[in-house]
Every structure is written in structure tokens, then in C-alpha cells.
Structure 1
Amino acid sequence: MTGPILPVVVLDDAEQAVPLGVALRAGGINTVEITLRTAAGLDGIRRARQVDGLRVGAGSVLTPQHVDQVAEAGAQFVVCPGLSVAVVERARERGLDVLPGVATPSELMAAVALGLDEVKLFPAGLLGGPAYIEALSAPFPGMRFVPSGGVSQKTLPDYLGLASVRTVSGSWMVARNLLAEEDWAEVTALSAEAVTLARDLR
């Protein structure tokens, strides 16, 4: 991933992708994950690619067919809730970085077997948060974790304080109510606060 903060976006209106991307960049965030949870996701990815300096990925990627769709829409990386060998292989075939989700040591072993050195831990909050990552890091010292699910600005320092965490995934700065209200100033403000906090921790 690029940067310490990875916003997870659920778009209901693809036309919001560009102003959202501009607001994130103004707040110092240069990477975004636009999920396929809504019909606006694919078009949102296409539109977000128009924003200078913004690296755009696709989230909630579940199948190789999804990989093909998001690659054609211009996604630069894919994020999955779980670990699928078929999805990882297709992403590599399409030249896309891939961040699969894991929740157990067995899934981490499968990730290692695939040659991965960074995974999404999902749902991080329910699994045990920073303490769980610390426990997993002992037998998997070369693995980097991107916690996702239940991460907030309040818990951000706890995650980024871990040596095995370089990026956190969250949606508080791109909450659906902010998008519905098109409150781009607040998106920028929350993004800037998160980036500043992350930099101070480093």
C-alpha cells in the first residue's frame, strides 16, 4: 500500500468519485479503495482515476471475474475480504497488486505459500485488534498487516504503533453520511487529521 491511511469507500453515486478523490488528496491521502459493494463501484473507480496523484484500488473483490472487471475500469490494486488463490493469481496475471484478507494462522500460511508479504487482517476489531496482530507477528515475522474493520481515528495509534503495521484501512473519513451530504471539507479535515496523527506516530 501507499501511505499510512487507506480509506474504504462505498459509493452510491459514481459522480462523487472525483470530488471525493480531490478532497482526499487535499487532506494528504494518496490511496483509496473503492468497493464493489454497490452498482456505482466500477464507474467510481473509472472516474477516480482522473484525480492526479491518487492511487485507486478496488475493494470487495471476490472472484477472478471481478478482477477482470476492475482491471478494465482502471484499478491499480485489488483488496479482498478473504484469501482466494484464484483471485490472487488473476490479479497477478493482470499486473495488479493484491491485498487479500486473512483472519487465521492457517490463512496466513496460505498467504506465505503464495509469496505474499502483506495481507489485510479482517475484521480486525472483532478478531482482537492490535493484540491479535502482535500474537500473529511472532510466528510470521516477515508479514505486514493492514488492519481493517472496526478501525477508527481513536484506535489508529494502537495499530500504527506496531512494527508490522504500516497502513490502516478505515472509513471514518469517508463515511456514507459525509458522501451523501457531499461534505468534502469534512472529508479533507478528517483525512488531514489522520495523516498528521500517523506521521507523528512515525
Structure 2
Amino acid sequence: MSFEQWLTQSKPVIPVIVIGELSQAVPLAQALVAGGVRLLEVTMRTSVALAAIEKIAKEVPDAIIGVGTVTKAEHIQQANDAGAQFALSPGISEKLVTKSQDLALPFMPGVMTPADIIKGIEFGLQDFKFYPAEQAGGVNMLKAFAGPFENIRFCPTGGISEHNFKNYLALNNVMAVGGSWLCPRNLLQTGDWSAIEILAKQC
């Protein structure tokens, strides 16, 4: 399936998840799914990320689990083997795109400039992660992209919070937003899954 098809089954918010302890993976995913957020991005920032993806893929069937912070082609292969259904990266490269296409794994590379977007279009891509969104011009930059890149859709991440995510979702060329505010570190550490479910329901 594609990102747009998945988003018909989930709220247009992709939580950026940093799993520090493997025991957090399943209850966190269950809480987010219960709150209506099914597209989950587990970042490759910790040693247990791949194991967390595998556990969520096996134990939370309603979750659409993906991998984030992909910077090497081997990350895509490893995540695919663990059961990831999509991949996101903070940047774009030929090796990343080629590996994802070889595996038929939906991939959203990070872009920040028109040159990045054109490079992705040359690979046949239409969906991009706009990163880091706030630092790269935010809503106004995405409005500027809408002219020359009429059929391109973005998922901005970086600086997105409960205070500004609706400003991004109001844009026609924004398909979803990504952010870590749905998974605050303090709630993860205390295992307050009901509070995370409430955050997911509120977004």
C-alpha cells in the first residue's frame, strides 16, 4: 500500500518514536493505535530499534509500523527484515532510494530544497519528508513549493508540535505531519500509556 492509502485508516500524524527499552515498544504502540494513530515511525536512534519494530509488527497487528532516521541502505534492509512496512530518512540518496525500490518498501526521503525534490522526482517519487520543517522555512516554504511542484505531497517533521501541527495540515500539499510530542520521554519512562492514548485521541 501507499502512504496515502494508509492515511485513510489513520489520523494524519506520524509519531516519531525513540524506544529506549524494548519493554516500551508494544504497550506504546497499543496506546497510539487505540488513540487512532496507526502509522508509527520507530527511529534508528537506539540499539533496540530493530527489535522494537519486530515486536510491534508481530504483536500489534493494527499498527502500520515503519522505520525512521534511515541513513544507510543497510538500515532499510534490516528494517524490512524486521517487518517494517515503510521507511523514512532525514535525507535523500541514490543508494537509499534504490534499496527501498529493490525491496518494494514504501520510502519517504527527506528533502529541504527544490534540488532535493527534483532528485526524488527523477527516481519516480511523489511523497517526501520535509525536514527539518521549522528550520527550513516551515509553512511558508511549503506554500512556495506548491507552485513548481504541484503534484508533490509532503510530511513535514522537525519542530512540529501540538501548537503548530494544524497549520501544516491545513496546506493542500501536506499529507501528514511527524512529531515526537505524542511520545514524551517522561511518559515513556513512567509507562503512562493511558496518557499517551489521550494525546493520540486529541491530535
Question: TM-score, normalization: structure 1?
Answer: 0.94
Unaligned runs of 5+ in 2: none
Aligned residues: 194
Partner residue, 1:26:
34
Question: Alpha-carbon deviation of 1:12?
Answer: 0.3
How is 1:1-202 mapped onto 2 (pairs within 5 angstroms)?
1=3, 2-3=6-7, 4-49=12-57, 50-194=59-203
Q: Distance in 2 between matches of 1:15 and 1:88?
A: 32
| CA deviation after TM superposition for structure 1 residue 52, in Å | 2.2
Tell me how far apart the structure 2 counterparts of residues 144 and 10 of structure 1 sit (CA, whole Å): 25
Is the partner of 2:201 in helix, strand or coil? helix
Deviation at 1:136, TM superposition (A): 1.1
Please list the CA deviations of residues 28-67 of structure 1 after superposition, one character each: whole Å capped at 9, or x if unmatched.
1111000010101010100111202100000011111111
SS of 1:124's partner is: coil
1:179 offset after TM fit, Å? 0.8
- Structure 1: gaps of 5 or more residues: 195-202
* Distance in 1 separating the partners of 2:38 and 2:159: 22
How far, CA to CA, are the matches of 2:92 and 2:146 in structure 1? 18
TM-score by length of 2: 0.93
Distance, in Å, in 2 between the alignment partners of 1:46 and 1:152 is 28
Name 1:198's counterpart in structure 2. none
- For 2:95 and 2:135, the matched residues in 1 are separated by 27
Shift in Å, 1:171: 0.8
> Aligned partners of 1:123, 1:71: CA distance in 2, in Å?
25
Deviation at 1:15, TM superposition (A): 1.7
Identity %: 37
- Name the SS for the 1:152 alignment partner: coil
Report the Cα distance in structure 1 between the residues aligned to 2:128 and 2:70, rounded to whole angstroms: 14
